[in-house]
Every structure is written in structure tokens, then in C-alpha cells.
Structure 1
Amino acid sequence: MRIAMIGTGYVGLVSGTCFSEFGIDVVCVDKDAAKIEKLHQNVMPIYEPGLEDLVADNVKAGRLSFTTDLTSAVKDADAVFIAVGTPSRRGDGHADLSYVYAAAEEIADAMTGYTVIVTKSTVPVGTGDEVEAIIKKRRPDAEFDVVSNPEFLREGSAINDFMRPDRVVIGTESDRARHVMKQLYRVLYLIETPIVFTSRRTSELIKYAGNTFLATKITFINEIADLCEKVGADVHDVAKGIGLDGRIGKKFLHPGPGYGGSCFPKDTLALVKTARDYDAPLRIVETVVDVNDKRKKAMAERVVKACGGSVKGKTVGVLGLTFKPNTDDMRDSPSLDIIPALVEAGAIVRAFDPEGMHEAKKMLPAITYCDDAQSTLKDADVLVLITEWNEFRALGTDRLKKLLKAPVVVDLRNVWDPAEMREAGFTYVSIGRP
């Protein structure tokens, strides 16, 4: 089989590469000629563990290629995946579908013979209907089906998530399209991965409902963490105690500075907007969005308080800038709220992130970037941990004490043990622990 993947961003590049690993011929398409040229040189536009080697292997095997020519990629394809960006639209928070609709128009002009058009991008309910209408208008003679096939990839473990997923969701009521999709995912059928077939609109909603539920779990445990601090309880024990209940589960019950990234912030906003449009407001989700936004902004106050009420003229050493470890993604990272607030309060901020500094420099220009954790913390008045990269966990109390001017640590990911830090003489602030 042959597929075309429109878009070589996070979803498109990972999905296209993994499909090629399944033995399918894949052509990845992007309008950005510079990005395609770099991919020809095996230079990845994103950081994802294992992706570079997987791309190189499948290019060498002749199953994976890259081009800016959409027409040539689409004309002989059995299926065409739309994997372009759907960022939040300014003003109302709805998903910006302009890239999706533009791709649909180009696909309509290029396809020959029966083609399955698959929306892999995260899109609001009803988008598939609009894509179908666009193609029918431009090509009333064309044979095609539009299918919803949402992605459930976690940055940092996306390859494993694609190759060994919890489930695959496919939205179509066409037997012909269902047959094509079964062939594409045949490898996963063989290992008995649950394949959930639904209507197209149901599939579109599953993606948003799943991400919103996870965002709600994160926000819930963050609010419980605040209560734990007030009453002298330990949020980690609370999370363990409730997470062992099979109806709740232990995942996404990790307290921190608030969720960020490419999915949760925009997807919660988009679902809120869709619900309002259909006069079925989601009050829980609206509250989740509001609480998370306020939480990220409030984290800087913890740093100021730990420094005796003022950071003016003080050097703040920040470890971690991305929204989570094992990615270079800075989108909606808590650091984008915390660091500007500290700078505004008069702090001198130095920062280090193993993979995210190239992107961070575009968004946080008013700080100093260092080459490693040691130079970041040298003679700093306070350490602020925002992202829990593994290499930061190895920084023991002895090394921290030698590096820092003052033994003050604000740990927003609960990496270190409170008792050990206090015993070592640190002023130690964490999340939800007495």
C-alpha cells in the first residue's frame, strides 16, 4: 500500500515514519522546502527519542521519502493523511482549521481513483463533514471517503505509542474505507491491539474528550496538592491512595506547576468553544482551563516567597524550560509564565534545558542561557526546577550546596526528598508536601 502524509510536524513525521516501519510506502509532504531539505539530510525538525534512527532506516529501505510536491505524492496514494497544525484561533480559542481545509482543497485537485482521506490532525466535531463537502465541491466526480483517525501520541514516547498503542480509533461508516484502514493497521491487528470503529463525529469527539479528561486529572491533583500544603498532608501519598483504585488509576496524578504542551491547552479550549456553540457548556472543563492558567502564573510567587519576599537583583537559576522532559516543545510551558514574572519582579534569570533552548530563545529573550546545570546554578540565590529531566535528578545536596550562593530550592516537580533537603540545610519548597 501507499500513503501520503500531509504535514511533517510532530504528528505527521512520527506517524509517517511508523507506518513505513509497518512496511507501507510513505511519502511525507510539507510546503516548507527548508524542512524537507533537512529531512533529506536526516536532520529532524523536532526532538523525539529514536526518531532519527527510525527515519534513516526506512529511508534507506526505500519505504519513506519526503517532498514538497503534494500532487505527485497524492495521485497514486491509497490513503492521504491530513496531519497539519490546528492551533488555537486568536480571540475565541477555537481550533484554526485553515490548514486542514487548504490541504483538503489540494488533495481534491491531486487525487486519482478511489482515495481514503484521513484526518489525523486534532479537529473539532464536524470537521470531517466540512472536508468532505470541500472535496465534493471541487471534485464532484471523485471517488473517496473521509475518515477520522485521531492520534494519541505522547511527546517523548511517541514511537512506542504508535507501534504499541492502547487503542486505535477509526471513524467511518464506509465498508470500503474500513477495509483500507484495516490494511494500514494490519500489523496492530496481529498483536491484538483494540481497534475501535465508530462514526466519524464520535471519533472526532473521542480525541478531545480523552485529552480533556487527562487535563482534568492533572488539575484535580494540583488543587489537592494546594490543600495538602494547608492541612499538612502529603500529596504523593494521597495520589497513591486514590490511584490504586482501579476506577481512578495512578496515571496523570502527578502534582506540578500546571499542564502545557501542544495538546492539552488548545484541546481544552477548543472543546469548551464547541460545547458553547452547541449550547451544551462544559462547566468542569471551563474551570480546568481557568485553574490551570492561574496556577502557572502563581508559581513565580512561590519563588519570591522562598527568597524572603523579593527577588529584585537576585540571580535565579532555572533548570528545565520545556513543558515536559524528552521533548524540545515549549508550547504553553509553565516556564513561559514563571520566568517573565520573575524578570518583571527584578530577578536576573539564568536557565538551562537539555533540548529546549533553541525554541526558548525565541520566546524568552530577556534571560541568560547556560551550557549546563552547573553554570546555571553557580552562585545563584535560588534554584527553580521547572522540568524534571533525568540529569537534574542526579544533582545531590552536596553538589547543590557548593554551587548555590544561598541554599534555597523551589522544586516544582518534587524531584528531591523534603526531609533530606531540610537535613542538608536547604530552604526547600515543593508541591503539596509538608
Structure 2
Amino acid sequence: MRVAVIGAGYVGLIQAAGLASLGHRVVIGERDPERISILRAGKVPFAEPGLAELLAGAGDRLSFEEDNRVAVRDAGVAFIAVPTPESADGSADLSIVDLVVDEVMSSLDPGAILAVKSTIPIGTIDRIAGQFRSAGRDDVNLASNPEFLAEGSAVSDFMNPDRIVIGARSEKAARTLTELYADLEAPMVVTDPVSAEMIKYASNAYLATRVTFGNAIANVCEAVGADVSDVLLGVGHDGRIGHHFMKPGPGFGGSCFPKDTKALVRIADAAGYRFSLLEGVIEVNEAQHQRVVEKVRIAAGGSLEGRTIGLLGLAYKAGTADLRGSPALELARLLQSSGALVRAFDPAVQAGIAGVETVASAIEATRGADVVLIATEWDEFVQLDLNSVRAAMSGDAIVDARNVLDPATVRAAELRYTGVGR
């Protein structure tokens, strides 16, 4: 099947390369000429395990086009995979999606399917379908086909999905998309567009809630003297609960959870329902940043003014270089606003960060530090020679915001240890 994917960002590029690896002929539409040049040169514009190999394996089944209108011509299925960033009021900004719709509307073949992979508010597919009808293009079938990719495992997530969600009011759209993914062994959830859109938001909201629950339990553990690691281990052994997404830390981040939780609160509010549970999740998550900073302040002797903090980690999680919504960057901002000097290192982040001094190694980040703060759970930080860290530091305190170090090992190196909920 000939397929077009509009957007060579994270979602679009993996979608396109994945479909090409399944034998489909795929054209990527991307308006950024620099990104097109990188891709045509056989390079990958961002770090993601397995993506370079997936692109190389696609061979001539994958091509690139700077004009989105040309990209969708002759395509049986066209996907929109462009960003829907957070607006100032917390809602999803659909301006890029709407721009693509306007671009490709007249170029799609009669009978083509236009499926949106971007995270879009409830009712967006039906709204776009109305635009097509008003333009006399009711021969195009609209569908929602949300993505469920996690950075660091996105290629595996595409090839081995937990489920494939298709939201369509047209039998042809549902059937064609089901056939497109036929080689992937996964449950197919075929539903209406509104339900498909809601599945995406509900999934991210639930995962964000689990993260926040783990942090809230950690905070209670600190108050009562329990060890959150043991508590959540015991809780997670319950088959109804499990261990995933309940590891305490500095709060959830990334490109999806922060914006999607806020967007769902706005969606619910517009529909007349106050989503107080999710409002609480957002509030607790934002407060978690301040709780970590307070731990650093106490470890620094009661004041951050003039103190040097060695920040280990900048990406929002290990396995990616993505800084979007990173708790580490928020921690750096809060520390600096309290008068601290922040010196940071992340093994995946090479570019400089505005307002943050970045250095070339973890040990260099700890040199002269009053407190070392672990903000991202990289294996490299777990394997640090703590005796070398102690020798490099001016102070003697480690705040482990990811609970990746063994407290006894840290103390054996004559360092003071502070974790989350332990």
C-alpha cells in the first residue's frame, strides 16, 4: 500500500520507517528542508535506539518530499503526525494540524483515508470531517489512530504494540487501517473517533496518575518513617496493581504527560465536568519539584545562596536526549532562583542549555559541589566511583531524586544520602 506520513518528527519518522519495514511504500512530507537533507543523507535527526537501523532497512520503500500536497498524492492512507503543543491556557494547540489539513485537502485522492496520529482534543476528527464535507470532499475518510510510543523504546513499541487503536465512522477507513497493520500482532481496538481520541488522553492521564501516586506515597513514607522502595515493592506484587510507573522521583515530565493532563482537564471542564482527580495529580506533580529543591536546601545547610549544585541529568528520563518538560530543567531553574550555581552533565545532551553551565563529564559536574543532585536515572550515575565523587566535592551530600543509589554504599564513601521516601 502507498502511504504518506506528514511530519518527520519523533512520531512521524518512526511511523513511516515502521510501515516501510512492513513492506509499504511510504512518502514522508516534511516542510523543514534541513531535516529532509539529514534524512536523505541517511542520518537520524534525533537519538532513538534502533531507528537508524530501521531507516536503513527501509531502503527505497521510504522517500521524502518537502511539499505535503505532493506527498499525499496517490496515497491510499495519509497520516498527520505533527506536534500539538500546549497553549497558554493548557489546551492543545491545533494550529499545525489545521495547517496540514488545509494543505492536503484538495490533493488527497478520492477514497483516501486521512488518519491523525497526533494527540488531539476530543471531537477533532469529527470537526475536520465537517471541514472536508463543507469543501465538497466527503469522498475522503477521516480516522483517529493515536500513537503509544515511549521515548527510548519507540521502535520496539511500534513493532510490538500493546494495542492498535482505530477510530473511524467509515467502514472503509476501519478496514483499510486494520489491513495496514495486519503484520503486527496486537489487539485491534476499532471504535469511533471520539472514543479513540479519549483512549489516548485517558492512557496518559492514568500513567501520570500512577507516577504521582508513587510520589505521594513516598512523601507519606518520609513523614511516618517507612521505606517507599519496600512499600511499593509490596504493593506492586499485587497482580491487580503491578510495578510499572510507580517509581518515586522528581515528578513526571516529557513531551506528553504534562501537556496531556492539562489538556484533558480543559476538555472535561469544557464539557461541564470538573476533573478534580487529575487537577490534584497536576498539583502534586508540580509540588514535587519544590520538595526536591527543599531536600537540596537542607542538604546544603539551610540555604542555597552561593552554593554550587552538581546536577546529574538533564533529559526528562534516561534513554533519551529529550529536554521537553524535563523535571531536571525545572529543578535547575528553581535552584538558580534560590541563588545556587548549577553545574550539570547529561550523557545524551550535548548542546548548551540556556542559563545552565554544562560540563563534559559526571565527575566534572561534582567538582567543587556542595551538593550533588541526581535528576535523571542514567546507569552511568549508578556506576559512579563514589570515593572519587567525595574527593571532588567541596561538600558531602548527595540528593538522589531517582532513588538509584544504595544508601549504605553512599554512606560508606563518607557521603550523606537523601532519597525520595526512604
TM-score normalised by structure 1 residue count = 0.94
* Kept after mapping to 2: 8 A contact 1:101/1:134: no
In 1: Cα distance, 2:356 partner to 2:103 partner: 43
User: 1:171·1:197 contact (CA, 8 Å) conserved in 2?
Assistant: yes
Correspondence for 1:272: 265
Contact between 2:108 and 2:140, CA under 8 Å: does it hold in 1?
A: no
Deviations 1:43-96 (A, max 9, x none): 3222111112221221xx211112212122111101010111101111x21101
Matches within 5 A, 1:6-405: 6-58=6-58, 61-90=59-88, 92-138=89-135, 140-188=136-184, 191=185, 193-358=186-351, 361=352, 364-405=353-394
* Aligned-partner residue type, residue 66 of structure 1: F
Deviation at 1:35, TM superposition (A): 1.2
1:135-158 Cα shifts (integer Å, max 9, x gaps): 2223x1452211111110001100
Do the aligned partners of residues 129 and 187 (structure 1) sit closer, same or farther apart at CA in structure 2, a change above 3 Å counting?
A: same
Contact 1:4–1:74 (CA<8 Å) still a contact in 2? Answer: yes
- The correspondence for 2:421, drawn from 414, 427, 432, is 432
- Structure 2: unaligned runs, 5 residues or longer: none
Q: Distance in 2 between matches of 1:179 and 1:426?
A: 61
Task: Verify the 8 A CA contact 1:105 1:134 in the aligned structure 2.
Answer: no
Q: Distance in 2 between matches of 1:376 and 1:246?
A: 41
In structure 2, C-alpha distance between the alignment counterparts of 1:226 and 1:202, rounded to whole Å = 35
In 1, Cα distance between equivalents of 2:105 and 2:359? 49
Count the aligned residue pairs: 422
* Cα drift, residue 100 of structure 1: 1.0
Cα displacement (A) at 1:230: 1.2
Give the secondary-structure state (helix, strand or coil) at the position aligned to 2:60: coil
Could you tell me how far 1:237 is from its partner in structure 2? 1.2
Q: 2:309, 2:373 within 8 Å by CA — same for their partners in 1?
A: yes
Q: How far is 1:30 from its partner?
A: 1.2
1:330, 1:259 → 2: CA distance?
12
CA distance in 2, matches of 1:355, 1:136: 47
The amino acid across from 1:419 in the alignment is: A
- Tell me, in whole angstroms, the C-alpha distance in 1 between the residues paired with 2:96 and 2:355: 32
Report the Cα distance in structure 2 between the residues aligned to 1:103 and 1:178, rounded to whole angstroms.
Answer: 22
Equivalent residue letter for 1:53: E
User: Which secondary structure does the structure 2 equivalent of 1:422 belong to?
Assistant: helix
Unmatched 5+ stretches in structure 1: none
Identity %: 43
CA offset digits 1:99-123 (Å, max 9, x no partner): 1111111121211221000010001
1:139-179 residue CA offsets vs partner (Å, 9 max, x unmatched): x1452211111110001100000100111111113221122
Output the amino acid matched with 1:175. E
State the secondary structure of the residue aligned to 1:256: coil
Q: 1:141 to 1:347 in 2, by over 3 A?
A: closer
